[in-house]
Amino acid sequence: MWARILRAAVVAAAFSTLAACASLGGGREAPLKPPVVTDPAPIVSGTMRPYQVRGRWYHPKEQPNYDEVGQASWYGSYHHGRSTSTGERFDMNGLTAAHKTLPLPSLVEVTNRANGRRVILRVNDRGPFVDGRIIDLSRGAAEELGLLNQGVGEVRVRYVGRAPRQGGGTPMQRAEAAPARNDAAPSREAGPRPYYEAASAPTPAPAQAPAPQPVPSYAAPAAAYWVQAGAYSDRRGADRVARRLGDRASIQNLDRDGRTLFRVVVGPWPDATAAERARQAVIARGFSDALLIGG
């Protein structure tokens, strides 16, 4: 009889141990405790409108239960210092990301399925507009997740909630050691490259205009993508808009029904993803009817 009692006690202890392990988060991808945001940034309303890229419509909305597995890519020096869809400046070394439909700005938890690394990222941009990609990472986020060299990898993305007014990106968990971060802007001539960047001549730094002056007209290359902020009958009004939109803005003359309009465009951009990011940024600056043209 004592033997039966002893065996029963051993079995009960084993089940108790298993239950305890499960309660401690035995699942490799159990959700992390999200950061507490006491003063959330307002959602940028202009980024929540439906929009179209390459004939496909996207409908941004609140998605509190968003949880998706798919491919992630990253973008870096080509966009460094330029406006994101929220109007913030893109810092390629920060922990940020672009998503096609989540609220801007917001926070997501991203897990690299290959190595278990996890980060919390601030979503402040739109993209990627490439089939099969669910999120575009900053260079810093790709480095934290171990995706910098391969360019593309499988991740799990969970919506965390509203973002704080500044920052919010946090490295949360690593399953292996990572190389040291280098916050200096890398040369485009060497090292890892985003999936869309070809090994080509470096992009020259934009020149600063010493004083307001008429913005030069520009003839668009046939294969380029541009963002049209507006078309104006008054050249001086077009000049003011172009200066407001910064160094990538220019003016194209447009003949319509026998009269000349001055079209203010921002670009050129190498692909539809980059151009749509720029369009969302132009919308955030008050030009709600901005259009994607060219390509």
DSSP string covering 190-213, please? SS---TT--S-PPPPPPPPPSS--
Kind plus residue range of the DSSP H or E element containing 140: helix 139-145
**pLDDT on residue 224:** 76
Place of tokens 């030009």: 287
For residue 269, the model assigns a pLDDT of 82
Q: How far apart are CA 72 and CA 256, in angstroms?
A: 43
**Among 125, 157, 138, 127, which Cα is nearest to 58's?**
127
Number of H helices, E strands in the chain: 4, 13
pLDDT at 285: 77
Predicted local distance difference test score (pLDDT) of residue 21? 42
Q: What is the structure's pLDDT at 177?
A: 45
- If one counts every other C-beta atom within 10 angstroms of the C-beta of residue 97, the result is 29
CB count within 10 Å of CB 145 equals 27
Report the C-alpha gap between 146 and 181 in whole angstroms: 11
Quick one: pLDDT at residue 93?
93
Q: What is the pLDDT along the chain (295 residues), one digit of tens a residue?
A: 555 554 555 445 444 444 444 433 334 455 566 678 888 999 987 889 888 887 889 999 999 999 999 999 998 877 788 888 888 889 999 999 999 999 999 999 999 999 999 999 999 999 888 888 999 999 999 999 999 988 899 999 999 999 998 888 888 765 554 444 444 444 444 456 554 443 333 344 444 545 555 554 444 444 578 888 888 989 998 999 988 888 888 998 888 888 899 999 998 888 777 788 788 888 877 787 888 887 5
My answer on whether omega of the bond before 268 falls inside 30° of 0, hence cis, is yes
